[in-house]
Amino acid sequence: MRSGAATPTRASGSRTGWLLLPLAGWLVAFVLAPALILLVISFATRDDLGRVVFAFSLENYGRVFDPVYLGIFARSVGYAALTTVLCIALAYPVAWHIARLGAPWRQRLLLLVMIPFWTSFLIRTYAWITILKQEGLLNGVLRHAGLIAAPLEFLYTPGAVVLGLVYAYLPFMILPLYASAEKVEPSLIEAAHDLGCGPWRTFATIVLPLTRPGLAAGVMMVFVPAIGMFAISDLMGGARVPMLGNVIQDQFVGQARDKPFGAALGVVFLLLFLVSYALLRRRAEVRLG
Amino acid sequence: MHLRRPFRLLRPSLAAALLAATALAARAAEKLSLFAWSEYVPARVIEGFTRETGIQVDYETYASGEEMLSKLLTGGAAYDLVQPPDYIAEAMIRNKLLRPLDAGRLTRLDQIAPEVRALPHDPGMKYTVPYMTGTVGIVVNTAKVKEPVRGYRDLFQEKYRNRIVVVNDNREIVSWALVTLGLDQNAITPANLARARPLVAEWIKLVKVFDSDSPKTPLLNGDVDLGVVWSGEAARLIQENPKFTYVLPVEGYHPFVDVLAIPTTARNVAAAHRFLDYLLRPEVAKLVSDEFPYTNPNLGARRLLTPAQRANPASYPPMTAWNTFRDIGRAAADIDRMMTDLKNRP
């Protein structure tokens, strides 16, 4: 953000300050106000129809820390963490190699990374169901190749959920990593090799520190939304184990009709995210010195 | 009751309705705003109504009765017609959210089957007109399962572990355990939930897929061989392949009724009545059965169906009891809590 490029003078900066108004308005209307509404509702109760009744109560927060919901929270975080790690492992080589290519190929490959966004996310998830089902493409190919005798279970397993999550979020890791990798001076890599660094050491001492901003952005963009994702666990996991997103959805538009409890879950989720983000920032700043 | 997901918005029915709507917008036509399940009101019905009356229908959709109620109560928009399931309609009537119908403007109410007219959510159809009814029953792929499956006890057996799909509807699942134990499906008390709990815990461990949106899909795909599903879904499976069979569980079953009703906040009450009256015509109500083969409460429409449609055991099962779900108010959250807990245990 503070990349001094073409910094306007202080005078022109104040004259163009009003350009930030739409952004500020956006943040107030769609981030701050909803978060405040959520906070207020989370201390309320409800009537038989599920209408919010504004009578102060801490009961919702008491329930959030019930072991059942903590377990769901832990599982959601676990799936999100595994997804993030797999995305990092897959995205690093891809981003790095795209960044090292000539401009025309770089453009084409980046386009390929983004093309899936042109199709609805749900339709792409259904495509995976067609591939993974018992009488699906994957089992068919494996059977014709003589690798298996009976169809294997791919769909409606935890593995299918992780596959779906990685597939959905991989581009969000590749793109920021690419943006960082593109700026890494190739001569630094050559120098490391000349000085006797193996590939791992080069990665750990040169590539990793220099692409850290891209990695941090990628982790944020993958990990956080993956915690709240519910459609994939429903469609590819058979909805066998509830995720945090499923539980919250149930409170608002599902049978539970308990918006205050859903709001309390949302508030705790938001706070945990803010705290971990602040901690990450502080660590990053300390390290950068 | 049938949770359906928003991707269904992409279905052609809605696209066609939108097209019809834009074609008529030029005339600045009178409007009717319909708030209904996604994929439940055929485009042909909406188009036919607009063609005849010139009234433009805005069809907004939701994926669960609770979602509809929540949006209606939030008051973001006024709807002229809503389509709640029986137990939500009951809660809405009790809380004065529905407007009494003007029976004088509904000329064909006599087409509705007598057994559907006096149900406890709205005895005498003062506030609601039944749209479609159905049951929740057991589907078996007889090509894969050779033993007879007559009820929940036959279905939820260790040998069928990972071969079962059930609707992802907590109240449904709990009701199956309650009737199996000989308890009242509508008596959601802490004591009854405690008694149902071990049975539910045992059952859900055997289930491979929970899906309310399209439970027929894993059955068609061969991922599972048995299921407890909405009768309309089962009817489509049977149409697709006669190897599928449908039975009402011997332990007990319950029918459901999806109704149409006019909220007190409706703006175009006259158009809402015209739409209801239009839907009561046998030839119009029949169109609903053609696309969504649930049980049609319209006797005239039933007579217009093909013999194959009428013989479909999922659309027209041998029904004797009409014990529908009742509104259980806050107890719904107790069910949700118990099911979340059980599903969460390894």
On the question of pLDDT at B16 being above 80, the answer is: no
Class of domain A75-256: mainly alpha
pLDDT-derived band at A3, boundaries 50, 70, 90? very low
d(CA A55, CA B266): 30
pLDDT-derived band at B270, boundaries 50, 70, 90? very high
pLDDT-derived band at B66, boundaries 50, 70, 90? confident
- What kind of architecture, by CATH, is found in domain B134-254+322-344? 3-Layer(aba) Sandwich (3.40)
CB atoms within 10 A of CB A261: 28
Lowest mean pLDDT among A138-152, A266-280, B246-260, B274-288: A266-280
- Using CA atoms, how far residue B202 sits from B249, B336, B342, in Å, is 18, 17, 9
d(CA B334, CA A48): 13
Instruction: Indicate if the alpha-carbon torsion angle B217, B221, B223, B225 is positive or negative.
Output: positive
**A238–B210: do the CB atoms touch at under 8 Å?**
yes
**Whether CATH 3.40.250.10 fits B14-133+256-311:** no
The 3-state DSSP class for residue A21 equals: helix
Q: What is the pLDDT of residues A43-82, one digit of tens each?
A: 999 988 888 999 999 999 999 999 989 999 999 999 999 9
Lowest mean pLDDT among A43-57, B34-48, B77-91: A43-57
Closest CA to B179 of B207, B154, B198, B151: B151
Percent of the residues in chain A that have a pLDDT greater than 70, as a whole number: 93
Mutate to test the interface with B, among A41, A45, A47, A48 (most CBs of B within 10 A): A48
The domain segmentation of chain B, as residue ranges, is 14-133+256-311, 134-254+322-344
**A258–B333: do the CB atoms touch at under 8 Å?**
yes
Q: Provide mean pLDDT across the span B165-187.
A: 96
Q: Provide mean pLDDT across the span B134-146.
A: 97
Q: Which of A50, A240, A251 sits opposite B343 (nearest CB)?
A: A240
Mutate to test the interface with B, among A37, A46, A47, A49 (most CBs of B within 10 A): A49
d(CA B299, CA B305): 10
Residue for token pair 């071990």: B198
Report yes or no: B208 at the A interface, CB cutoff 8 Å. yes
Specify the higher pLDDT residue, A79 or A269.
A79
Q: Are A148 and A185 in contact (CB under 8 A)?
A: no
pLDDT-derived band at B205, boundaries 50, 70, 90? very high
Q: Are B166 and A239 in contact (CB under 8 A)?
A: no
Query: In chain B, which among 19-78 make CB contacts under 8 A with chain A?
Result: 62-64, 66-67, 69-70, 73
Report yes or no: B132 at the A interface, CB cutoff 8 Å. no
Print burial letters for A41-72: b (CB count within 10 Å at least 16), e (below 16).
bbbbbbeebbbbeeeebeebbebbeeebbebb
Closest CA to A208 of A96, A43, A131, A106: A96
- pLDDT score at B9: 36
Same fold, B14-133+256-311 and B134-254+322-344: yes
Percent of the residues in chain B that have a pLDDT greater than 70, as a whole number: 92
Specify the higher pLDDT residue, B96 or A18.
B96
d(CA A225, CA A210): 25
On the question of pLDDT at B177 being above 50, the answer is: yes
Specify the higher pLDDT residue, A261 or A276.
A261
Top-confidence range, A68-72, A115-119, B105-109: B105-109
- pLDDT score at A12: 52
Q: Provide mean pLDDT across the span A239-248.
A: 88
Q: Do the interacting molecules here have an ipTM over 0.85?
A: no
Closest chain A residue by Cα to residue B206: A240
Looking at every residue in chain B, the average pLDDT score rounds to 91
**A49–B341: do the CB atoms touch at under 8 Å?**
no
On the question of pLDDT at B257 being above 90, the answer is: yes
Q: What is the dihedral of CA B90, B94, B96, B99, to 10 degrees?
A: 40
Structure tokens at B21: 């709507």
- pLDDT score at B77: 79
Kindly list the residues from chain A whose CB atom is less than 8 angstroms away from the CB atom of residue B221: 129, 133-136
- pLDDT score at A5: 45
pLDDT-derived band at A269, boundaries 50, 70, 90? confident
The domain segmentation of chain A, as residue ranges, is 30-64+258-289, 75-256
Q: Provide mean pLDDT across the span A109-135.
A: 91
- pLDDT score at B321: 87
Structure tokens at B115: 């057994």
Q: Provide mean pLDDT across the span B4-18.
A: 43
Kindly list the residues from chain B whose CB atom is less than 8 angstroms away from the CB atom of residue A129: 217, 221
